[in-house]
Amino acid sequence: MPAVSLHGITKRFPGVVANDGVEFEAAEGEVHALLGENGAGKSTLSNILTGLYRPDEGTVELYGERVEFDSPRDALDAGICMVHQHFRLVPPFTVAENVILGDHRGEGGRFLVNPRHIERRVAELGERYRIAVDPRARVWQLSLGEQQRVEILKALYREAKILILDEPTAVLTPQEAESLFVTLRAMADEGRTVIFISHKLHEVTAVADRVTVLRGGKTVATVGTADATPQSLASLMVGREVDVATRVPREMTIGDAVLELEGVGATGDRGAEALHDVSLTVRSGEIVAVAGVAGNGQRELAETITGMRPTTTGRIVVGGKALKGGDSREAIHAGIAHVPEDRLHTGVAPSLSIASNTVLKSYRGTHIARGPMLRLGAIKERALHLISSYDVRTSGPNVPARQLSGGNLQKVVLGREFSGEPRVLIAASPTRGLDVSAIETVHRYIREGATGGMGIILISEDLDEILALADRIVVMYEGRIVGELDAETATKDAMGLLMAGVTEPVA
């Protein structure tokens, strides 16, 4: 009898069918992977299983019994816990407070609570499953990897029988991911059911017993990992044969330095130091990748270079001229283009049309404006040109940007940024959430940009992407550059160690 079985689950959101008759079964004591591209409906399915969403159709059975969850409380009571993709922790609370939050079994106090009382138990669980965190630390002080441990501790503390983890490795170094897998195996060996969501093939084959593949909201297949290869899973996942991202040889003519950072420091949103003494040179025609676990200063680095965040120390030199910093218009004039991490909110103005978005950076230019008046005809022409040359799939230039799919939106952003003929391009996670064909397109544009003489900084957490695109790799850890590797010879292991802050060779 399966621990979890979902039949014919359908969930619709305005304009999308996120789950379309999904079938899913996971047994007691197994690690069951749920594999699928971004947007395949994995998170939606798990939110249904945890009572956050109500399915429009379909049934949920636990250990052979039909259940209906009205709220997460019901799912928790049934022994289901989930580690969400975006953690559900209360940042100002301590670890112990987060662990007992909502735990109404009365341990640590039914009406009166004393989180202190459970600190010992939390520490013990941490030791036993090799996920120790200081129970008195406040969550906002913890790294993302540690926050994930808190989420798992919550589940262990509640003695969850079924644990769902939604893309848990996105915030981990390869080594941290390995150690997470050990923890998950240990939990499964105790008879729990672990549902592990991912879109990374090698992880799935490494940790899971069986895999269910979702594509476009439908179940494609459930296979044992023993009989699967990364290639066979990849083609199930995208519905056709694909090559896993590979290095494409590129004609390189490396020129002069276009961007130099000299000892740059900056503070983060919380006022703590986010960048410390960062020095980096990018030359014309070169792609420099910045690798690192999310939250180690990459976003602040991009914002500092593009003038969205002031520097506290050091200087930024573009094409031989120092910037005063903290002024995005100055950065644009100096020839710095930016493909931001959050393309929908930072990259475009979502409610404005595609046409308006294409001129957001150049509305002062004489070809677009005459004095204070915009030349709407010229703007439209320009947008049409961008739409055709970048193959943006849309019904026209007046469509609001928010209606574009992720890949097409990214093409608009790239088209706008490239049209200014920049010297330097800062691309932050440019392919996150895109489908395979859109990724190919974005990669092609980045390569072409470099061939055309731009200096490019590629910020990415996807090591495959970095290895496929970069000429040089620098690794960031806690706001510092902790190492530099040649992309030809770099390995994921070497990057992973640096990403964990290990700079000394391990004895």
Partner 1 sequence: MNNSILVVVLASAVTYGTPLLYSALGELVAERSGVLNLGVEGMMLVGAVMGFWAVQTIPGPGPLVLILSVGVAAIAAGLMALIHAFLVITLRANQIVSGLALTIFAGAGGLSSYLGNDLNLADAPAKHAFGAFFPHGMQTLPVLGPIFFEQNALVFVAWVFVAGVAFYLARTRPGLNLKAVGESPAAADAMGINVTRYRYIHTVVGGAFAGIGGATFSLAITPQWVDGLTQGAGWIAIALVIFAFWRPALCLVGAYFFGAFAGLPFTLQARGVTIAPELFQALPYVMTILVLVTVSAAGARRRLGAPGALGTPYVREER
**Smallest distance, partner 1 to C-beta of residue 270, A:** 8
Of the chain, the end-to-end C-alpha distance in Å amounts to 48
- By the 10 Å C-beta count (0-12 exposed, 13-18 middle, 19+ buried), 148 is classed as buried
Give the DSSP H or E segment for 277: strand 273-283
Q: Which entry of ligand ADP, partner 1, Mg ion, none binds 431, CB below 5 to 8 A by partner kind? A: none
Q: In 336-454, which ranges are E strands?
A: 336-339, 369-370, 373-374, 424-428
* Closest approach of ligand ADP to the CB of residue 38, in Å: 4
Candidate residues 4, 9, 24, 43; the one interacting with ligand ADP per rule CB under 6 A: 43
Residues 449, 451, 457, 462, CA torsion sign: positive
Minimum distance from residue 15 beta carbon to Mg ion (Å): 17
Give helix 174-189 / helix 144-157 axis angle, nearest 10°: 10
**Residues 9, 32, 42, 188: which binds ligand ADP (CB under 6 A)?**
42
Q: How far is the CB of 62 from ligand ADP (least distance, A)?
A: 21
- The CB-of-62 to partner 1 minimum distance in angstroms stands at 17
Radius of gyration of the chain (CA): 24
Q: Whose CA is closest to 195, among 53, 22, 26, 2?
A: 26
With CB cut-offs between 5 and 8 Å by kind, which of Mg ion, partner 1, ligand ADP, none does residue 370 bind? none
What's the CA gap between 100 and 98, in Å, rounded?
6
How far apart are alpha carbons 205 and 212 in whole angstroms? 12
Nearest to 324 by CA among 340, 310, 308: 310
Residues that bind partner 1 (CB under 8 A): 13, 50, 52-53, 71-73, 76-77, 82, 84, 86-93, 97-98, 100-104, 109-114, 154, 271
CA-closest candidate to residue 291, choices 491, 505, 86, 504 = 491
Among ligand ADP, Mg ion, partner 1, none, residue 36 binds (CB under 5-8 Å by kind): ligand ADP
Question: CB of residue 344 vs ligand ADP: minimum separation in angstroms?
Answer: 11
- Residue 163 touches ligand ADP, criterion: CB under 6 A: no
Minimum gap (Å) between residue 214 Cβ and ligand ADP:
7
| Smallest separation, CB 167 to ligand ADP (Å) | 7
* 16 binds, options ligand ADP, partner 1, Mg ion, none, Cβ within 5 to 8 A by partner type: ligand ADP
Residue count (the chain): 507
Q: Give yes or no for a contact between 351 and 304, defined as CB atoms under 8 angstroms apart.
A: no
Shortest distance (Å) from residue 147 CB to partner 1: 11
Which of the ranges 39-47, 111-119, 225-233, 314-322 carries the binding residues for ligand ADP, by CB under 6 A?
39-47
Alpha-carbon gap, residue 171 to 481, rounded angstroms: 18
Binds 337: which of partner 1, Mg ion, ligand ADP, none (CB < 5-8 Å by kind):
none
CB 20 within 8 A of CB 135: no
SS3 labels along 155-168? HHHCCCCEEEEECH
Burial pattern 439-459, b for ≥16 Cβ within 10 A else e, equals bebbbebbbebbeebbbbbbb
Structure tokens at 202: 């090698």
Instruction: Report the alpha-carbon distance of residue 361 to residue 330 in Å, rounded.
Output: 12
Residue whose CB is less far from ligand ADP, 38 or 312: 38
Please, what is the angle between helix 406-419 and helix 376-389, to 10°?
120
Of 24, 26, 32, 39, which one interacts with ligand ADP (CB under 6 A)?
39
Binding-site member from 18, 386, 495, 497 for ligand ADP (CB under 6 A):
18
Position 40 contacts ligand ADP (CB under 6 A):
yes
Closer residue to partner 1 in complex, CB, 8/102: 102
- CB-wise, 103 or 478, nearer to partner 1? 103
Does 16 participate in binding ligand ADP (rule CB under 6 A)?
Answer: yes
Which stretch, 41-49, 266-274, 324-332, 361-369, contacts ligand ADP (CB under 6 A)?
Answer: 41-49
How far is the C-alpha of 99 from the C-alpha of 76, rounded, in Å? 13
Q: Which of 480, 455, 481 is nearest to 288 (CA)?
A: 455
Residue 306 contact among partner 1, Mg ion, ligand ADP, none, beta carbon within 5 to 8 Å by kind: none
Contact residues for 352 (Cβ-Cβ < 8 A; gap 6+): 360, 400, 401
Of 44 and 408, CB closest to ligand ADP: 44
Q: Count residues contacting ligand ADP (CB under 6 A)?
A: 11
The item of partner 1, ligand ADP, Mg ion, none sharing an interface with residue 59, based on CB under 5 to 8 Å by kind, is none
Q: Catalog residues that contact Mg ion under the rule CB under 5 A.
A: 43
Task: Specify the residue, 81 or 323, whose C-beta has the smaller distance to partner 1.
Answer: 81
Q: Report the residue number, 36 or 285, with the smaller CB distance to ligand ADP.
A: 36
Window of 38-46, 204-212, 291-299, 414-422 that interacts with ligand ADP by CB under 6 A: 38-46
Task: Closer to partner 1 by CB, 47 or 441: give it.
Answer: 47
Question: Smallest gap, in angstroms, from Cβ of residue 267 to partner 1?
Answer: 13
Going through 323-479 in order, the beta strands assigned E by DSSP cover 336-339, 369-370, 373-374, 424-428, 455-459, 472-477
With a CB cutoff of 8 Å and minimum separation 6, the contacts of 154 are: 81, 98, 99
38 binds ligand ADP (CB under 6 A): yes
Q: What is the DSSP letter of 506?
A: P
Closest separation in Å from C-beta 197 to ligand ADP: 7
* By the rule CB under 6 A, 13 interacts with ligand ADP: yes
Residues that bind ligand ADP (CB under 6 A): 13, 16, 18, 36, 38-44
